[in-house]
Amino acid sequence: MRLVEHFIGSGSAGGGERRGDVYDPSSGRIQAQVVLGTAAVLEQAVAAARAAQPRWAATNPQRRARVLFRFKELIEREMEPLARLIASEHGKVVADAKGDIQRGLEVIEFCCGIPHVLKGEYTEGAGPGIDVYSMRQPIGIGAGITPFNFPAMIPMWMCGPALATGNAFILKPSERDPSVPVRLAELFLEAGLPEGVFQVVHGDKEMVDAILDHPAINAVSFVGSSDIAQYVYSRGVAAGKRVQAMGGAKNHGIVMPDADMDQVVRDLCGGAFGSAGERCMALPVAVPVGEETAERLREALIPAIRALRVGVSTDPDAHYGPVVNAAHKSRVENWIQTAVDEGAELVVDGRGLTLQGHEDGFFVGPTLLDRVTTDMTSYREEIFGPVLQIVRAPDFETALRLPSEHQYGNGVALFTRNGHAAREFAQRVNVGMVGINVPIPVPVAYHSFGGWKRSGFGDHNQHGVEGVRFWTRVKTVTQRWPDGAADLPRGSEDGGPSRLADAFVIPTMN
């Protein structure tokens, strides 16, 4: 059976007797095992990073950018096999897996411009003969702890700005789909990144705690559930680290009476059910404003949802594939039952879905729940599956309060043709990322990604200029040069320069 090992220094490394199973979600069968590392394995990676990082930091930004350019070319060359590898371990369809890779590459593209982004500030004449300037320097060694749902994109979101700014980076990916992160390490090495600058260690909570506690790791970036994000943030900060920890979400799609209903239905189906709903920027809550809007939305959603095709990850006609494993399938189906027990109306039931020839696959059909209320736990918590809930709001103010008062504040969307309503909503809603007629408002790579409330812990968002700030520290220099020719060095007896200025004169070539 295939074994997925750590990538330390220049290649694969063992370490750790424990193993984790890696499934093929479409078949339900174990396809590989991943080595689960220990603190001793992390120590090896840290030692390699310590040896490599100073020289990488001393490499000028333009040369670091050239490595990223080459890495981008290699990823584009390997797009098809990488996407199929993601699909085989995660379960998302190949087209969705290519989107996973492409969104990560967009951050790498932004980081190729790091020479410009790293330019500091300068003030001439801040005082009599005094100039002040600032520079951004790398924090040293950083670590990323990434979830299963985007095994290419999120590692690239983290490592792109970390590497571009001169840091060494240690990645601890999800043990559920670990193969693509290792392949990223191999491609970085092929692109010319020095050994030890990008490494991959596998593990579970034991490895996470070792990262959070290690004194040589100065910054940690995390994406996962909110409870774990809060744990990572608290323990990391207590250990003196800089931490950004992105948590869960319950994103709302507010549907105004004047919205383009055909577009809303398409966007909700894609936002709620794409990638089997396993993404923190999914759109699992629809909030129609007014009963008439709610009835029109429901009537239009039912046939659209029933027309969705669920298939194996390699099915080119499938809208989405299986969820990641059997435990998660059971969790999603239990949330559906919880909603029903709490009084929600089950309009479309996706439980019990099987595909011929893939009866053991981890499939959950698209599910629609109506008349969900804010006191239901299925509304308050993140389901993270192909489930869309309708929460009816009588008016705009009520609809605005729903995402604003929810414990999560990752993303929100408003569907309307009314510019005033859109502007009012964007200004007032208590959520970190807002889409106006955009169902999944993930910012482009040169802006930053981050939610509010329990969706994000820490002061810095991911990628964009915020990512550069997270992975660097500002050093400010205040300088004054004394005046006085008498203090300048004199010429030497062997004909050296008689004035300091003469040392900088370009000699005439005869």
DSSP 142: E
Q: Decide the pairing of beta strands 408-409 and 452-453.
A: antiparallel
Looking from the CA of 48 toward its CB, the CA atoms found within 13 Å total: 22
CA contacts within 13 A on the Cβ side of 333: 16
Q: Which of helix, strand or coil describes residue 411?
A: strand
What would the two tokens of residue 267 be?
Answer: 């966007």
Asked if 255 contacts 415 with a C-beta cutoff of 8 angstroms, the reply is yes
- Taking each helix axis as running N to C, give the angle between helix 94-111 and helix 153-164, from 0 to 180 degrees, rounded to the nearest 10: 10
Phi, psi dihedral angles at 364 (to 5 degrees): -130, 125
Radius of gyration of the chain (CA): 26
Query: Within its chain, how far is the Cα of 233 from the centroid?
Result: 16
Q: Alpha-carbon distance 91 to 411, whole Å?
A: 24
Q: Identify the three-state secondary structure at position 181.
A: helix
Which residues, in sequence order, are CB contacts of 309 under 8 Å at separation 6+? 315, 317, 318, 319
CB 76 within 8 A of CB 54: no
- Is 280 labeled as catalytic in the residue annotation? yes
Name the 3-class secondary structure at 398.
helix
Q: Which of 111, 112, 269, 280 is catalytic?
A: 280
> Which pairing describes strands 433-436 and 29-36: parallel, antiparallel, or unpaired?
unpaired
3-state secondary structure 20-80: EEEEECCCCEEEEEEEECCHHHHHHHHHHHHHHHHHHHHCCHHHHHHHHHHHHHHHHHCHH
User: Strand pairing partners for 33?
Assistant: 3, 21
Do the beta carbons of residue 34 and residue 22 sit within 8 Å? yes
| Residues catalogued as catalytic | 280
